[in-house]
Structure 1
């Protein structure tokens, strides 16, 4: 399945329930290429991506569990197992990392936004390919143990854990929003 760009933009929804198989190499390459077309002030390419599947997801789960135990040493076995199982909710996880570079015209926030745009492009590409995807962050994205465990440098920040796979069940309905509720002329018309 492949859809045109406007349809993908208008119909994309997050798909939190995912299953295998892992997207094909061709699908993954299409998703990766979409990331690299994100807007990027000064062509800094202020991003990098870690791609995980199979045993790598289990290793990420162990890292999630270690971070949870570091915060709460008396964590219950069930809660620890939940943290360890988080990456297993999809057959493919892409960790998007913003890599801040010194630049006189491009502050770190713009570099984070560029990486976020790359994630958005990957979400759209996954949808256009008939896959499901969901952007996750939460406390784990900011935890120093996770950052260290994934090899992030001091100038790097996790922007997303992008979960990708086959949709498990029906996609949720696209909410119908009125564009006039969000877009107004300026200055306001009297």
Structure 2
């Protein structure tokens, strides 16, 4: 698949079949992530592949995080809510948790750039999965950044989970998308005086 076609046709797709994804395809996705740019070649990404029962551990931590905001976790409504949360990691046969472990050994390294490198890795992985015929989506939200999540994946104090990539074979094709015209989001600056109009 041409890279421009992949960029324009990729869509977040959570409607996937409960069918095992071959290890070889998962490894291709992971490798695509490792080819993202990183300043000073720090390669600050960490990947955790969740399949089978390992997804249960993620569900249990999501429940613990949700319980922090519940007045009564054992109320009928919250029991149902907890059960629903516990099932979330089983929406796809494979989840790749993507985390950042910033290089703190060098004073040259800027933390924001370490995060940027991992976000670039995530985009590479989403595009690679799409090119391989898989559907998927990038899941984040407040629980992603909870200390319990960091603990689950054994990250350091500086480390952070940046998202969960859910992948599987799509149940249906996604509709084409729309984006703003580049003219709406781009300012061309060709001479110094152009800045006076900003």
User: Matches of residues 72-87 of structure 1 in structure 2 within 5 Å?
Assistant: 72=70, 74-75=72-73, 76-87=78-89
- State the alpha-carbon separation in 2 of the partners of residues 96 and 119 from structure 1: 7
Deviation at 1:73, TM superposition (A): 5.2
- State the alpha-carbon separation in 1 of the partners of residues 28 and 130 from structure 2: 11
User: Matches of residues 1-80 of structure 1 in structure 2 within 5 Å?
Assistant: 3-72=1-70, 74-75=72-73, 76-80=78-82
| 2:49 counterpart SS class | strand
Q: Which residue of 2 aligns with 1:111?
A: 114
Deviation at 1:176, TM superposition (A): 4.3
Q: Which residue of 1 aligns with 2:90?
A: 88
- State the alpha-carbon separation in 2 of the partners of residues 57 and 71 from structure 1: 23
TM-score of the aligned structures, taking structure 2 as reference length: 0.88
Unaligned stretches of 5+ residues in structure 2: none
Q: Which residue of 2 aligns with 1:185?
A: 188
Runs of 4 or more above 4 Å deviation: none
Q: Which residue of 1 aligns with 2:174?
A: 171
Unaligned stretches of 5+ residues in structure 1: none
Deviation at 1:105, TM superposition (A): 2.4
Q: Which of structures 1 and 2 has the bigger CA Rg?
A: 2
8 A contact 2:13–2:137 mirrored in 1? yes
| 1:152 counterpart SS class | coil
Q: Which residue of 1 aligns with 2:100?
A: 98
- State the alpha-carbon separation in 2 of the partners of residues 73 and 146 from structure 1: 21
User: Matches of residues 115-130 of structure 1 in structure 2 within 5 Å?
Assistant: 115-130=118-133
2:164 to 146, 161, 164: 161
TM-score of the aligned structures, taking structure 1 as reference length: 0.92
| 1:21 counterpart SS class | coil
Query: How many pairs are equivalent?
Result: 188
- State the alpha-carbon separation in 2 of the partners of residues 32 and 141 from structure 1: 20
Deviation at 1:106, TM superposition (A): 2.2
CA RMSD of aligned residues (A): 1.7
- State the alpha-carbon separation in 2 of the partners of residues 95 and 148 from structure 1: 13
